[in-house]
């Protein structure tokens, strides 16, 4: 499959601080690719280099086949960018924002109006097209930004923290919209996020970034599968004979058992095998299973596995790193 | 250049929806014009002068009659008689009177004997304007007192000065108008140009533009052309409204309007360029708000907008030489007060154009196409 984005050993240093450290990956055409990590991890710096806003200190990257340094204007024509901050003009309407950007992107005059109408319909804002953006809700403003990023019909879309600050309903709505638009327009999407569920539900592949380094890269399912003890079974029995915990411990795939009879928590590194074995053992012993819950490994576990700390720990470091970057002299 | 025009269009749409910005940029300079114009422009009147006549002779009475004539006509001061000099000075210290005229004993005798007679004006010199006005008024009064009776000879050997005024009388409010117009342009450049530029940058709007294929030149043009258009609109509005308020004769003369448009245009571009140079590397939106008052003071007062530059100390005159306000005010004075042609304002326009080109050149070098 052809790579829409190809990143090779890209590094960005601000003075002595290395924000992005020799990161390499590629994004296939038509893929939704996520950069997952806390806010100070270097994701935004990386996306800013790929969208020509920052020049890499080292390494190279191509977007849509164009080098981000030597062919920056070709890259800009190829990509749509939805920055982390809400950057639409609040005093202007959604329509006017799109109109101005269609002119900045040199969309031919006769294409502008139908394209803007079509995009506003796609993000379900036709009714609000002429209302000032300042009167729209956070979710609606984000949809204006998404429409604005598509106003020149780009092949590749960059979204930096697309749902930060939105309520759960708006987040779900943005996810659905992105999936649909991506499908309809055959887009390649690269997004950054620090929400595990967003990366899990939206992305086909994920790169986990921490302290400027790429820690892991694969599909969410494969990343979860790489972690031992990936399932936790919580089983409740009608009654339990003596030594039942030992019986459970001896079942295939079981790592450890917490005995809170009649409820047992079984940590397994082979979920389906252990589940089948537990049910069979209960049947053989003449026990009735009252309830059975299987918890899958979350991306949070994956993050901890690869980085050695929780994502929220990283979030606490974020402000420190951001302050350091802000204090660095610009070059 | 389509990208630049898109930015100008965006700015104009926003400007149209910010009536407060339009009114504030007009209202503030107009308010200043009216308040300063009438506060400083009027002549000092209705002062109170205590008169202590310790002489009582005929020449002393004549002095008092002349003073009463001034009080009745020019109304510069009114006289209050005192019998005791000490009481009069106490009244002066209390602020009940603004000055004390003392006619000493023996004044009439000295007049008649030709022995260099003197009267004294004791003035409250904590207010220079009042004391200078009283001194001027009494000097004139004494000149009239000393004047010999009309001569029967038609020719005299004494040289006299006759002042011929080249232009119609210019009240202070008209004198202040050119500086007010330049201030309104600068205010619009500050608020509608500088502050909006920094605020947009801080809100991330510029990031949105930088990821489009717009060129560096188009970005710079877009930011500055819209600022210059708004500044010109402000300057032209002030010319119309300010001329009516200040009573500038024949303000709608088409030739003069055409010349004014050129000066307003060149001034706007020059000041927008200067502002862009100040803002181009700035990140903190609070800094421009803090520095604008200082810049306005440094540029406006030395420009000769409110007082002749010849009265300034050396260091202020040095600022005035490089201050673009000086040349804008000078050109507008020539057009509004003297109705001069381009010949009189050529150097002013040249300086403003060079100043604008230099500041824009420096700002362009400092402007970054990346974050």
**What pLDDT, in 10s, does the model give residues B5-40?**
999 999 999 888 877 777 777 788 888 888 888 887
Tokens matching residue B82: 């005192």
pLDDT, tens digit, 9 for 90 and up, residues B79-102: 999 999 899 999 999 988 999 999
Task: Name the minimum distance, in Å, from the CA of A293 to any CA of chain B.
Answer: 47
pLDDT, tens digit, 9 for 90 and up, residues A29-77: 999 999 988 878 899 899 999 999 999 999 999 999 999 999 999 999 9
Q: What sign has the CA pseudo-torsion B243, B248, B253, B256?
A: negative
The residues near A126 (Cβ < 8 Å, ≥ 6 apart) are A117, A120
Can you list the positions of beta strands (E) in A98-241? 156-160, 188-193, 205-210, 213-218, 231-237
Q: B43 φ, ψ to 5°?
A: -85, 150
pLDDT, tens digit, 9 for 90 and up, residues B298-328: 999 999 888 888 888 999 999 999 999 999 9
Residue (of A326, A29, A304, A62) closest to A186 by Cα position: A29
**Which residue from B minimizes the CA distance to A72?**
B213
Task: Give the residue-averaged pLDDT of A124-144.
Answer: 91
**Which residue from B minimizes the CA distance to A152?**
B212
The overall average pLDDT reported for chain B is 87
To which residue do tokens 């092949």 refer? A155
Residue (of B188, B264, B213, B217) closest to B11 by Cα position: B188
Does residue A279 surpass a pLDDT of 50?
Answer: yes
Does residue A322 surpass a pLDDT of 50?
Answer: no
Residue (of A151, A164, A212) closest to A17 by Cα position: A212
Flag if A105 and B213 touch (Cβ within 8 Å): yes
Residue (of A219, A188, A153) closest to A62 by Cα position: A188
- CA angle B171/B175/B180 to nearest 5° reads 130
Task: Give the residue-averaged pLDDT of A300-327.
Answer: 59
Does residue B225 surpass a pLDDT of 50?
Answer: yes
Select the more confidently predicted residue: B303 or A297.
B303
Select the more confidently predicted residue: A191 or A317.
A191
Q: Which of A51, A83, A104 sits opposite B214 (nearest CB)?
A: A104
Q: How far apart are CA A117 and CA A121, in angstroms?
A: 6
Q: Count how many residues are written for chain A.
A: 331
Flag if A100 and B6 touch (Cβ within 8 Å): yes
Flag if B208 and A53 touch (Cβ within 8 Å): no
The residues near A206 (Cβ < 8 Å, ≥ 6 apart) are A33, A34, A35, A36, A199, A216, A217, A218, A219, A220, A223, A299
Report residue A227's pLDDT band, with 50, 70 and 90 as the boundaries: confident
Task: Give the residue-averaged pLDDT of B43-70.
Answer: 88
Does residue A326 surpass a pLDDT of 70?
Answer: no
Report residue B172's pLDDT band, with 50, 70 and 90 as the boundaries: confident
Task: Name the minimum distance, in Å, from the CA of B230 to any CA of chain A.
Answer: 17
Strands A289-295 and A231-237: antiparallel
pLDDT, tens digit, 9 for 90 and up, residues B110-145: 888 888 888 899 988 888 888 888 898 888 888 888
Q: How far apart are CA B67 and CA B81, in angstroms?
A: 11
Task: Name the minimum distance, in Å, from the CA of B267 to any CA of chain A.
Answer: 29
What pLDDT was estimated at residue B146? 83
Does residue B159 surpass a pLDDT of 80?
Answer: no
Does residue B154 surpass a pLDDT of 70?
Answer: no
Report residue B156's pLDDT band, with 50, 70 and 90 as the boundaries: low
Contacts of A105 in chain B (CB under 8 A): 212-213
* Model ipTM value: 0.78
Q: How far apart are CA A115 and CA A107, in angstroms?
A: 9
Does residue B162 surpass a pLDDT of 80?
Answer: no
Interface probe for A, chosen from B202, B212, B221, B284 (most Cβ of A below 10 Å), is B212
The overall average pLDDT reported for chain A is 86
Residues A207 and A214 sit within 8 Å (Cβ to Cβ): yes
Q: How far apart are CA B247 and CA B21, in angstroms?
A: 26
Task: Give the residue-averaged pLDDT of B209-222.
Answer: 90
**Which residue from B minimizes the CA distance to A92?**
B14
Residue (of A223, A235, A236) closest to A297 by Cα position: A223
What pLDDT was estimated at residue B331? 95
Provide the phi-psi class of A231: left if phi over 0, else alpha when psi is between -120 and 50, else beta: beta
**Which residue from B minimizes the CA distance to A83?**
B208
Flag if B207 and A83 touch (Cβ within 8 Å): yes
Flag if A81 and B5 touch (Cβ within 8 Å): no
Interface probe for B, chosen from A52, A84, A95, A104 (most Cβ of B below 10 Å), is A104
Q: How far apart are CA B225 and CA B220, in angstroms?
A: 8
Residues B324 and B313 sit within 8 Å (Cβ to Cβ): no
Task: Name the minimum distance, in Å, from the CA of B198 to any CA of chain A.
Answer: 14
What pLDDT was estimated at residue B155? 60
Q: What sign has the CA pseudo-torsion A179, A180, A186, A187?
A: negative
Select the more confidently predicted residue: A312 or B206.
B206
Work out the number of other CB atoms within 10 angstroms of the CB of residue A244. Answer: 20
Residues B170 and B334 sit within 8 Å (Cβ to Cβ): no
Does residue A247 surpass a pLDDT of 60?
Answer: yes
Flag if A100 and B14 touch (Cβ within 8 Å): no
Task: Name the minimum distance, in Å, from the CA of B6 to any CA of chain A.
Answer: 6
Does residue A151 surpass a pLDDT of 50?
Answer: yes
pLDDT, tens digit, 9 for 90 and up, residues B229-256: 999 998 998 899 899 988 888 878 888 8
Q: In Å, what is the CA distance from A83 to each residue of A9, A48, A63, A148, B304? A: 24, 9, 17, 11, 48
Contacts of B2 in chain A (CB under 8 A): 103, 106
Residues B228 and B269 sit within 8 Å (Cβ to Cβ): yes
CA Rg value for chain A: 24
Does residue A329 surpass a pLDDT of 50?
Answer: no
Contacts of A52 in chain B (CB under 8 A): 210-211, 370
Does residue B163 surpass a pLDDT of 80?
Answer: no
Task: Give the residue-averaged pLDDT of A147-157.
Answer: 91
| Highest-scoring range by mean pLDDT, A206-210, A237-241, A265-269, B338-342 | A206-210
Residues A177 and A202 sit within 8 Å (Cβ to Cβ): no
Element (H, E) at B236: helix B216-246
Scored b (16 or more CB within 10 A) or e, A95-107 reads bbbbbbbbbbbeb
| Highest-scoring range by mean pLDDT, A320-324, B41-45, B203-207 | B203-207
Tokens matching residue A171: 């987040």
Does residue A101 surpass a pLDDT of 90?
Answer: yes
Task: Give the residue-averaged pLDDT of B272-283.
Answer: 90
Task: Name the minimum distance, in Å, from the CA of B19 to any CA of chain A.
Answer: 12
Report residue B153's pLDDT band, with 50, 70 and 90 as the boundaries: low
The residues near B111 (Cβ < 8 Å, ≥ 6 apart) are B57, B59, B117
Select the more confidently predicted residue: A129 or A294.
A129
Q: How far apart are CA A148 and CA A100, in angstroms?
A: 9
Contacts of B1 in chain A (CB under 8 A): none
Report residue A229's pLDDT band, with 50, 70 and 90 as the boundaries: low
Does residue A305 surpass a pLDDT of 90?
Answer: no
Task: Give the residue-averaged pLDDT of A232-246.
Answer: 87
Report residue A129's pLDDT band, with 50, 70 and 90 as the boundaries: very high
What pLDDT was estimated at residue B147? 76
Element (H, E) at A196: helix A196-202
The chain B residues in contact with chain A (CB within 8 A) are: 2-3, 5-7, 9-10, 13-14, 17-18, 203-205, 207-214, 368, 370-371
Report residue A312's pLDDT band, with 50, 70 and 90 as the boundaries: low
Can you list the positions of beta strands (E) in A93-184? 156-160
Contacts of A89 in chain B (CB under 8 A): 10, 14, 205
Report residue A179's pLDDT band, with 50, 70 and 90 as the boundaries: confident
The chain A residues in contact with chain B (CB within 8 A) are: 48, 51-55, 73, 76-77, 79, 81, 83-89, 91-92, 96, 100-101, 103-106, 132, 148, 330
pLDDT, tens digit, 9 for 90 and up, residues A189-225: 999 988 888 888 889 999 999 989 999 899 988 887 7
Does residue B270 surpass a pLDDT of 90?
Answer: yes
The 3 state secondary structure assigned to B299-342 is HHHHHCCCCCHHHCCHHHHHHHHHCHHHHHHHHHHHHHHHCCCH
């Amino acid at each position: 499959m052809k790579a829409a984005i190809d990143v090779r050993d890209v590094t960005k240093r601000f003075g002595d601080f290395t924000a992005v450290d020799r990161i390499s990956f590629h994004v296939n055409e038509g893929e939704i690719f996520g950069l997952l990590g806390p806010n100070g991890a270097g994701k935004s710096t990386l996306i800013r280099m790929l969208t020509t806003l920052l020049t890499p200190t080292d390494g190279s990257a191509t977007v849509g086949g164009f080098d981000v340094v030597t062919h920056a204007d070709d890259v800009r024509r190829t990509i749509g960018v939805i920055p982390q901050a809400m950057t639409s003009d609040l005093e202007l309407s959604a329509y006017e924002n799109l109109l101005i950007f269609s002119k900045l992107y040199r969309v031919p005059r006769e294409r502008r109006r139908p394209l803007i109408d079509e995009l506003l319909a796609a993000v379900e804002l036709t009714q609000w097209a002429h209302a000032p953006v300042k009167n729209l809700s956070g979710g609606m403003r984000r949809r204006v930004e998404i429409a604005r990023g598509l106003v020149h019909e780009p092949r590749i879309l960059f979204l930096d923290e697309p749902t930060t600050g939105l309520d759960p309903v708006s987040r779900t709505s943005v996810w659905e919209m992105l999936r649909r638009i991506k499908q309809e327009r055959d887009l390649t999407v690269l997004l950054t996020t620090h929400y595990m569920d967003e990366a899990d539900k939206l992305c086909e592949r994920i790169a986990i970034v921490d302290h400027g380094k790429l820690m892991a890269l694969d599909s969410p399912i494969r990343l979860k599968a790489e972690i031992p003890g990936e399932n936790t079974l919580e089983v409740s029995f009608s009654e339990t004979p003596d030594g039942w915990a030992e019986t459970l411990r001896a079942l295939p795939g079981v790592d450890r058992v917490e005995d809170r009879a009649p409820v047992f928590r079984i940590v397994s590194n082979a979920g389906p095998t252990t589940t089948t074995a537990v049910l069979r053992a209960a049947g053989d012993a003449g026990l009735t299973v009252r309830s059975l819950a299987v918890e899958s490994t979350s991306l949070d576990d994956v993050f901890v596995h690869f980085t050695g700390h929780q994502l929220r720990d990283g979030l606490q470091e974020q402000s420190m790193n951001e302050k350091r970057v802000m204090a660095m002299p610009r070059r | 250049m389509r990208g630049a025009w898109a930015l100008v269009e965006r700015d104009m749409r926003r400007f149209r929806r910010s009536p407060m910005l339009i009114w504030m940029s007009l209202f503030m300079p107009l308010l200043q014009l009216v308040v300063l114009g009438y506060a400083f422009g009027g002549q000092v009147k209705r002062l109170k002068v205590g008169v202590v006549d310790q002489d009582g002779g005929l020449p002393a009475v004549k002095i008092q009659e002349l003073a009463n004539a001034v009080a009745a006509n020019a109304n510069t001061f009114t006289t209050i008689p005192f019998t005791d000099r000490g009481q009069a000075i106490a009244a002066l210290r209390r602020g009940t009177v603004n000055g004390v005229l003392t006619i000493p004993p023996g004044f009439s005798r000295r007049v008649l004997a030709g022995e260099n007679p003197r009267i004294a004006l004791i003035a409250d010199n904590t207010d220079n304007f009042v004391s200078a006005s009283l001194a001027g008024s009494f000097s004139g009064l004494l000149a009239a007192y000393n004047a010999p009776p009309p001569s029967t000879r038609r020719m005299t050997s004494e040289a006299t000065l006759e002042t011929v005024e080249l232009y119609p009388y210019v009240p202070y409010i008209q004198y202040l108008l050119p500086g007010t117009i330049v201030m309104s342009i600068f205010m619009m450049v500050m608020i509608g140009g500088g502050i909006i530029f920094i605020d947009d940058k801080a809100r991330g709007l510029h990031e949105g533009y930088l990821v489009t294929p717009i060129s560096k030149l188009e970005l710079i043009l877009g930011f500055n052309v819209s600022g210059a258009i708004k500044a010109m609109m402000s300057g032209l509005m002030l010319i119309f409204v300010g001329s009516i308020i200040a009573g500038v004769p024949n303000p709608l003369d088409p030739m003069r309007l055409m010349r004014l448009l050129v000066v307003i245009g060149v001034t706007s571009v020059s000041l927008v360029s200067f502002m862009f140079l100040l803002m181009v590397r700035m990140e903190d939106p609070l800094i421009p708000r803090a520095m604008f008052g200082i810049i306005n003071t440094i540029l406006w007062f030395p420009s000769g907008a409110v007082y002749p530059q010849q009265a300034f100390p050396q260091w202020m005159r040095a600022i005035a030489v490089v201050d673009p306000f000086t040349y804008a005010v000078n050109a507008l004075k020539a057009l509004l007060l003297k109705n001069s042609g381009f010949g009189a304002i050529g150097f002013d326009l040249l300086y403003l154009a060079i100043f604008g080109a230099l500041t824009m050149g420096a700002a362009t070098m400092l402007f970054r196409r990346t974050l």
